Structure 1
Amino acid sequence: MFSRLAKLMSGSSEPLPETDFYRHRLAIYESELGEPEHSFTDRAERRIDIHAFGRDFVPVCEEGSDEGYVLLTNGMSEQRMPGVHGDAKPRAELMWYVREPTPEICANLRRLANLPFIDTTWFGFGHRVAMPAPPMAGTEFQTFLFLTPIIGPDKRIAEALEIAGDPVEILTVNLISRQELELIKSWGLDPFLDLLDMHDYPPIFDPARKSYV
């Protein structure tokens, strides 16, 4: 585990204090999403807070409502992920669209945000994390899939966020079935993304969603 000094030094010869990075991220989040309705503070040494921003996911041009929350981690990008290569962004924060920010959901999100630094790995677009058992009540799906935001304000956060000169990847969290995972392994990610479009994949996480394969 890195020392606190190493965390602050990661990726910059003249790092800002950790609290400044924290406020910088939150300010960018709030510039697009407004103030969070809830913030869940992490008491661990590697502090990864979770902010919950209320949102109606129905487009302005359509009728009705589909209320939920945009969850965003704040702290995962405090240090670079180990082993990042190529053009991949060296730092990341996670985003999850949920109906309610339950303790179970927040615990899973924080666990995922810590995983690169525990397993000495990195997350990027299309990466998966297979769990030994379903991580959520009410679902049989066991694999997390990371994509990137397609909703306007969330894309702008991803474009604006930078820490210590490094661009920060915003990765959306999705749960997929065993059959969907096999499709991705066999045919690549694009056919699966086409399936999501075909089935009008809901933005808000639904643990009861049926497999598309």
Structure 2
Amino acid sequence: MLSRLAKLVSGSSAPSPSADLYRHRLAIYESELGEPEHSFTDSAERRIDIHAFGRDFVPVCQEGSDEGYVLLTNGMSEQRMPGSHGDAKPRAELMWYVREPTEEVCANLRWLANLPFIDTTWFGFGHRVALPWPPVAGTDFQTFLFLTPVIGPDKEVAAALEIAGDPVEILTVNLISHQELALIKSRGLDPFLDLLDENDYPPIFDPARKSYV
């Protein structure tokens, strides 16, 4: 996998997503998230666009604001992930909560969305992608961890999305530390999820977050 880090997301030979399926996904996204404030179109042969939906992450019952974006890929689920098996959902789209949809963040998200097709693998809840260097400026964390949405509208997107009879997994993108990765490897995912709750893990990606381990 790491030997192919330099391969950009444009390096695939898959067909572009059909217009009907593309619109189908976007209509489901918009039904729960509203219209995207930005859409970043992919020019690669395997087209994976990224939509940025503005959101105030402060719950309605609380005062103040915490504005950011829900980034959501559109095109990853066009194909079944080649490594999926058993009860795993064979198709997925990726979601990342960020302060701003920067070029760096979008490039990482699009690369992750292409990786199963480059490495003949699949992504599901709890899966990880470890890198040899931090993928985003301002953080020391080098491992992506995929979870599933816990915020209502995002869960509804996941529940409604289906392609060619296959349910589509929506996976949220998170960055974790070496110590947190070691905890997951030694004790499993649940103790780490408990740590997220105990530390009020922020929904919006914070590159300056300290390790919880």
With the shorter chain as reference, the TM-score category is over 0.9
Within 5 Å, give how 1:1-213 maps onto structure 2. Answer: 2-4=13-15, 18-213=18-213
Partner AA of 1:191 in structure 2 = P
Structure 1, unpaired ranges of 5+: 9-17
Q: Matched residues in 1 for 2:19 and 2:109: separation?
A: 21
Partner AA of 1:73 in structure 2 = T
> Counterpart of 1:15?
none
Deviating above 3 A after TM superposition, structure 1's stretches of 4 or more consecutive aligned residues are none
Q: Matched residues in 2 for 1:83 and 1:74: separation?
A: 20
TM-score, normalization by structure 2: 0.93
Aligned residues: 202
Measure how far apart 1:34 and its partner are. Answer: 0.4
Given that 2:26 and 2:74 are in contact with CA atoms closer than 8 Å, whether structure 1 keeps it comes out as yes
Partner AA of 1:174 in structure 2 = N
| SS of equivalent residue, structure 1 residue 32 | helix
> Counterpart of 1:14?
none
Q: Matched residues in 2 for 1:91 and 1:211: separation?
A: 31
TM-score, normalization by structure 1: 0.93
Measure how far apart 1:3 and its partner are. Answer: 4.7
Q: Sort the Cα spacing of 1:131 and 1:64 in 2 relative to 1 into closer, same or farther, 3 A.
A: same
Given that 2:14 and 2:45 are in contact with CA atoms closer than 8 Å, whether structure 1 keeps it comes out as no
Q: Matched residues in 2 for 1:179 and 1:67: separation?
A: 29
Partner AA of 1:65 in structure 2 = S
Q: Matched residues in 1 for 2:148 and 2:159: separation?
A: 11
Q: Sort the Cα spacing of 1:183 and 1:165 in 2 relative to 1 into closer, same or farther, 3 A.
A: same
RMSD: 1.0
Given that 2:51 and 2:73 are in contact with CA atoms closer than 8 Å, whether structure 1 keeps it comes out as yes
Superimposed CA distance per residue, residues 36-83 of structure 1 (whole angstroms, 9 cap, x where no aligned partner): 000000000000000000000000011110000000000000000012
Structure 2, unpaired ranges of 5+: 1-11
Partner AA of 2:120 in structure 1 = T
State the identity as a percent: 86
